[in-house]
Amino acid sequence: MTTHSAQLFSIATGSPEPIYRQLVEQVRRLLAAGQMAPGDGLPSVREVAQALALNPMTVSKAYSLLEMEGLLTRRRGMGMIVADRPGPASSSAERAELLRPTLERAALEARQLELDPDTVLSLFTHILKEQA
Amino acid sequence: MNIPIVRLSSISKHFGRSTVLDGLDWQVMPGQVIGLLGRNGAGKSTLLECLLGLRETDGGSVTIYGEDVNALSDATRARIGYVPQKSDLFEWMTPRQMLDYVKALYPRWNDAKVDALLARWGFDGGMQDKPISKLSGGEQQRLSIIRALGPDPELLILDEPVSALDPVGRRDFLRELIDGVIERGTTVVFSTHILSDLERVALDIAFLKDGRITLQGQLDELLEGARRVTGPGALLDGVALAGEVRRHRSLDGTVSVVTQNGAALGAVGTQAGVRVETLSLEDLFIEVTQ
């Protein structure tokens, strides 16, 4: 069991996606990918707020949402930890679904650029292989 | 908790023939952290000065903690901190002399915080003995912030507090605002053009336009709800969208509608030829203040 540091998170200002949403999605992705395991500790609200220069309310809003969804648990004296998952780790279909918002944005831009699907898909395939 | 600590009712302010504030109503609730946005010349400084009773209004009333702003008790005055856009420090004094002088005006003064900030923000050593007039714009602004934070105010009003600071100075200021101010439950109202800073700390934003607060809400909700719907006039002209903020027609007949209620778009957004986009705070600023 590890306690993750606030370096775990990064946020972008100037995005249409509110900052608390960005934090929620990051935790979801890290969990789905197994980079965070049940029992792992999360950095405290204050640590994240200080490290990222954010209003603490924004961080606690993200944590509360993840708690409501059952992904995190509040442990007395220890802050937030990753909840025990009843089932097996998310299926690849579930993990793919997490990618949808990002891909929808990319799809919108592709349409604006009037690119045909084949061109876009081959570019995406190329990028995936490049970074592997 | 739900009694506003600042209440502006029908505030009007004219300069010569130009109307800067036009029957403006606004309320600030305890614990809110509000970013005040508007174009240059929209009257943000005038609004904040009227709010603090530093500028006479031509009509309407302002109360702070339930007291008329023109007759504030000393006790209430001591609860308010203000960082003006242009620092009006006592220029012939050294930073330390000025702070000692100001300290004497307040019943409560946080020496530990002031000393820590002075050290952290580079006011140790030689700068202590320089007259304020010899400090740079950024140094004067930092000193002005320290002065405002000294009495641990419960209501902090900041007018472009970081305009003279470099990115490192701005980040230091944000950290202090988060750790030393917001965590204490202080109510904060600040105007700024630096939207990235505002996104980090403000939970609410208010837009000042045409002398009124035209749009106010939680930043998260505004971002999540805002959509720009663009399409041919033939499809959009006859349709009034819920929560419309702005409607604009280009010369080629394309109509663009900005709504703050994207969830209620329904079938309008799914028609062929109609495009729906989400908006960043900068997009929203441009749409709302134009």
Pick the closest to residue B117 from B69, B180, B196, B204 (CA basis): B180
The pLDDT, as a whole number, for residue B146 is: 94
- Could you list the mean pLDDT of each consecutive 10-residue stretch along chain A, which spans 132 residues? 85 94 94 88 93 94 92 86 69 77 84 88 89 66
Task: Say if the Cβ atoms of A14 and B199 lie within 8 Å.
Answer: yes
Task: Say if the Cβ atoms of A14 and B223 lie within 8 Å.
Answer: no
Q: For residue B213, is it left (φ>0), alpha (ψ between -120 and 50) or beta?
A: beta
Compute, in degrees rounded to 10, the torsion defined by CA atoms B264, B266, B269, B271: -160
The contact set of B with A (CB < 8 A) is 33, 171, 174-175, 178-179, 182-183, 195-196, 199-203, 219-220, 223-224, 226, 277-283
The pLDDT, as a whole number, for residue B32 is: 94
Indicate whether A37 and A65 sit together in one domain. yes
DSSP state of A44: P
Helix (H) or strand (E) holding B212: strand B212-218
Indicate whether A73 and A123 sit together in one domain. no
Task: Say if the Cβ atoms of B203 and A20 lie within 8 Å.
Answer: no
Indicate whether A52 and A103 sit together in one domain. no
Residue A93 lies in a domain: no
Over pLDDT 90: what percentage of chain B? Answer: 69
The pLDDT, as a whole number, for residue A90 is: 63
Cα–Cα distance for residue pair B163/B190, rounded to 1 Å: 12
The pLDDT, as a whole number, for residue A44 is: 93
The pLDDT, as a whole number, for residue A99 is: 83
Helices B95-103 and B137-149, axial angle in degrees (round to 10): 20
Closest-CA residue of B relative to A22 is B220
| Candidates A10, A11, A13, partner chain B, best to mutate (most B CBs within 10 A) | A13
Indicate whether A51 and A104 sit together in one domain. no
Indicate whether A50 and A15 sit together in one domain. yes
Residue A32 lies in a domain: yes
Indicate whether A20 and A75 sit together in one domain. yes
Examine the pLDDT at B30 and tell me if it is beyond 90.
yes
Pick the closest to residue B164 from B121, B207, B204 (CA basis): B121
Indicate whether A72 and A109 sit together in one domain. no
Task: Say if the Cβ atoms of A20 and B220 lie within 8 Å.
Answer: yes
Residue A113 lies in a domain: yes
The pLDDT, as a whole number, for residue A88 is: 47
How far off is chain B from A88, nearest CA to CA, in Å? 32
Q: Is B135 helix (H, G, I), strand (E, B) or coil?
A: coil
Residue A42 lies in a domain: yes
Closest CB from B171, B196, B203 relative to A57: B203
Residue A110 contacts by C-beta under 8 Å, 6 or more apart in sequence? Answer: A120
**How would residue B282 be classed by pLDDT, with cut points 50, 70 and 90?**
very high
Residue A25 lies in a domain: yes
Estimate the share of chain A in helix, then strand, then coil, as percent rounded to the nearest 5.
55, 10, 35
A50 shares contact with chain B (CB less than 8 Å) = yes
Over pLDDT 70: what percentage of chain B? Answer: 99
Chains A & B: contacts with CB separation below 8 Å: 61
pLDDT 10s digits, B137-171: 889 999 999 999 999 999 999 999 888 888 999 99
Cα–Cα distance for residue pair B239/B233, rounded to 1 Å: 10
Task: Say if the Cβ atoms of B277 and A18 lie within 8 Å.
Answer: no
Indicate whether A77 and A106 sit together in one domain. no
How far off is chain B from A23, nearest CA to CA, in Å? 13
Q: CATH no. for residue A65?
A: 1.10.10.10
Query: Which chain B residues are within 8 Å of A58, Cβ to Cβ?
Result: 203, 220
More confident: A100 or B87: A100
**How would residue B33 be classed by pLDDT, with cut points 50, 70 and 90?**
very high
The pLDDT, as a whole number, for residue B147 is: 93
Indicate whether A53 and A118 sit together in one domain. no
Mean pLDDT, chain B, rounded, equals 91
Residue A20 lies in a domain: yes
Which string of DSSP letters, residue by residue, matches B244-269?
EEEEEE-TTSEEEEEES-GGG-GGGG
Domain range for residue A123? 99-131
The pLDDT, as a whole number, for residue A130 is: 84
Task: Say if the Cβ atoms of B200 and A17 lie within 8 Å.
Answer: no
pLDDT 10s digits, B169-219: 999 999 999 988 888 889 999 999 899 999 999 999 999 999 999 999 999
How far off is chain B from A109, nearest CA to CA, in Å? 10
Indicate whether A78 and A110 sit together in one domain. no
pLDDT 10s digits, B115-145: 999 999 988 777 778 899 999 888 999 999 9
Residue A124 lies in a domain: yes
What's the domain count of chain A?
2
The pLDDT, as a whole number, for residue B1 is: 55
pTM beyond 0.90, yes or no: no
pLDDT 10s digits, B52-79: 999 999 999 999 999 999 999 999 999 9
Interface predicted TM-score (ipTM): 0.87
Indicate whether A31 and A75 sit together in one domain. yes
Query: Which chain A residues are within 8 Å of B200, Cβ to Cβ?
Result: 13, 19, 52-55
Pick the closest to residue B116 from B146, B141, B144 (CA basis): B146
Task: Say if the Cβ atoms of B277 and A52 lie within 8 Å.
Answer: no
Task: Say if the Cβ atoms of A54 and B201 lie within 8 Å.
Answer: yes
Are the C-beta atoms of B60 and B10 separated by less than 8 Å? Answer: yes
Indicate whether A11 and A68 sit together in one domain. yes
Task: Say if the Cβ atoms of B220 and A17 lie within 8 Å.
Answer: no
Query: Which chain A residues are within 8 Å of B179, Cβ to Cβ?
Result: 49-50
| Candidates B178, B205, B276, partner chain A, best to mutate (most A CBs within 10 A) | B178
Residue A92 lies in a domain: no
